[in-house]
């Protein structure tokens, strides 16, 4: 086993991640962990993830209002990407899928005229007192989108750092750095611990590229295209993230739990 293959003190097995979930202490923490662990077993690994679709759907979503239908399609690609990372990231993928489904119901439901863009959704729910700022389980569309928005920041930062490492380098350090800068502050301690252990099991950059495009390891042109597609996807996701950030900030909703 080489130094690059040997686990660091921050790495662990999938069983270690499950044990970390068991460290939850309060009733709220235990309930949050139970929601995650009860649904992990139903996760299916996607076989149709597309970097091109990831880029194009978020690009279509981008405007000064953010189109929710295209955002949902873009996020379905994010979900597929998370499943490619294997069972160690399954709890993240499951949580994302649940929130995508909730947002889709708002976008296509009886009151769908108010849920076509992020701007119109926030305006409608604020005006009608639908966002319960101190209630974590508030199922409003605006809070659901905000949870996805926070996760998107992590994805953008993590994938944006791929250009900074070599193909033989592990993705764990840049993933942890991105997580600590973004999502960590929104997670209970047990989930923080499990997340960091999970990231220790991420592959090298080359291994990640192979999951996305198996041919890239043998074809130089395919590899260059994958790297270019990653950059384009990060750029389109970041544009959507920054605009969404501004819309939430205008209504002082960024820090609701």
List average pLDDT for each run of 10 residues in the chain, which is 257 residues long.
39 44 48 51 77 98 98 97 79 86 97 98 96 78 95 95 95 93 84 81 92 87 93 98 98 89
Q: Give dist(CA 110, CA 59) in Å, integer.
A: 27
Predicted local confidence at residue 3, as pLDDT: 41
Residue that the structure tokens 């239908």 belong to: 69
Alpha-carbon span 132 to 140, nearest angstrom: 8
What's residue 68's pLDDT?
98
Closest CA to 15 of 194, 210, 139: 194
CA atoms within 13 A on the CB side of 204: 12
Alpha carbons 180 and 45: distance in angstroms, whole number: 26
Q: How far apart are CA 101 and CA 185, in angstroms?
A: 24
The pLDDT of residue 15 is 44
């Amino acid at each position: 086993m080489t130094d690059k293959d040997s686990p660091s003190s921050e790495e662990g097995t999938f069983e270690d991640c499950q044990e970390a979930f068991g460290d939850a202490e309060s009733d709220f923490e235990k309930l949050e962990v139970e929601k995650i662990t009860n649904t992990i077993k139903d996760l299916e690994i996607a076989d149709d993830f597309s970097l091109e679709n990831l880029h194009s759907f978020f690009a279509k979503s981008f405007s000064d209002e953010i189109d929710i239908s295209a955002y949902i399609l873009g996020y379905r690609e994010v979900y597929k990407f998370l499943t490619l990372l294997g069972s160690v990231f399954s709890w993240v993928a499951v949580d994302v899928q649940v929130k995508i489904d909730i947002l889709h119901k708002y976008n296509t439901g009886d009151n769908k005229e108010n849920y076509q863009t992020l701007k119109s959704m926030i305006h409608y729910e604020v005006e009608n007192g639908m966002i319960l700022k101190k209630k974590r389980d508030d199922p409003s569309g605006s809070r659901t989108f905000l949870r996805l928005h926070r996760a998107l920041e992590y994805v953008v930062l993590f994938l944006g750092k791929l250009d900074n490492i070599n193909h033989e380098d592990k993705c764990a350090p840049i993933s942890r750095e991105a997580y600590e800068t973004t999502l960590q502050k929104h997670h209970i301690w047990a989930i923080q611990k499990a997340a960091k252990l999970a990231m220790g099991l991420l592959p090298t950059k080359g291994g990640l590229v192979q999951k996305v495009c198996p041919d890239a390891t043998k074809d130089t042109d395919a590899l260059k295209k994958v790297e270019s597609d990653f950059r384009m996807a990060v750029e389109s996701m970041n544009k959507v993230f920054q605009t969404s950030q501004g819309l939430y900030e205008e209504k002082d909703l960024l820090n609701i739990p």
